[in-house]
Amino acid sequence: MAEPLLSFERVPMSWTDERVELLKKMWSEGQSASQIAKELGGVTRNAVIGKVHRLGLSNRSGGTSQAAAKPEAKAKPEPKAKAAPAETKPAPKPEPRTEPARPAAAESRPATPARKPIVPAGQPLPPQPSANEISPEALAKVHEVEKKARKLTLMELTERTCKWPVGDPATEDFWFCGLPAQPGKPYCEAHVGVAFQPMSARRDRRR
């Protein structure tokens, strides 16, 4: 037992079969390159994107719905000093674009029973604002904030956006707060207030 365990050091970390699989899976699920990169670890989002393109799955059409064509980024970098052979684009682009399918908001987590609702990623799930023992002021603030909410979709959430869900995931009237999240917290200031109740505030608020 000479070699104990390979310490997780700066090892190249190549694209093993498993890693590629995970990459494909996440990419197909619509995960962003940065998220995939973080999940994989040891690679940057650039690496992920590079690999994605090399694999030939630049488009997220390979699995569930084909509804994943987002008109984002056209890319046309050629201002680089390079003797590139005139490569114009005389060929048209017949894109059999069907109607924009509904981006099923309730679908993305593999670790989910996949049934109806779906909740954001990681982090402690917040208790839905119901009959809770929360400071009336905090609740009021939440309500106030919800008006200013950016109403982001699941895909638009980042680590710096408030991930507080509002509404019923089963309906169209569902979105995430999206306001600037507190550093190190998954929610904005207002929602942190109701998400993380101090022990002292809970007490035995028996009815």
Partner DNA sequence: CCCTGATTCGC
Partner DNA sequence: GCGAATCAGG
Q: Can residue 97 be called a binding residue for DNA (CB under 7 A)?
A: no
Find residue 176's DSSP bridge partners. Answer: 152, 165
Only segment of 76-84, 95-103, 118-126, 181-189 that touches DNA (CB under 7 A): 76-84
Q: Which of 125, 160, 168, 170 binds DNA (CB under 7 A)?
A: 160
The answer to whether the beta carbons of residues 101 and 65 sit under 8 Å apart is yes
Q: Can residue 84 be called a binding residue for DNA (CB under 7 A)?
A: yes
Closest CA to 181 of 164, 165, 194: 164
Task: Say how far apart CA 32 and CA 25 lie, in whole Å.
Answer: 12
Q: Can residue 50 be called a binding residue for DNA (CB under 7 A)?
A: yes
Residues that bind DNA (rule: CB under 7 A) add up to a total of 36
Q: Which of 25, 53, 148, 202 binds DNA (CB under 7 A)?
A: 53
Q: Can residue 7 be called a binding residue for DNA (CB under 7 A)?
A: no
Task: Say how far apart CA 143 and CA 104 lie, in whole Å.
Answer: 27
Q: Can residue 32 be called a binding residue for DNA (CB under 7 A)?
A: yes
- Up-side HSE of residue 129: CA atoms within 13 Å toward CB? 19
- For 134, other C-beta atoms within 10 Å of its C-beta total 20
Q: Which of 47, 67, 105, 152 binds DNA (CB under 7 A)?
A: 47
Q: Can residue 45 be called a binding residue for DNA (CB under 7 A)?
A: yes
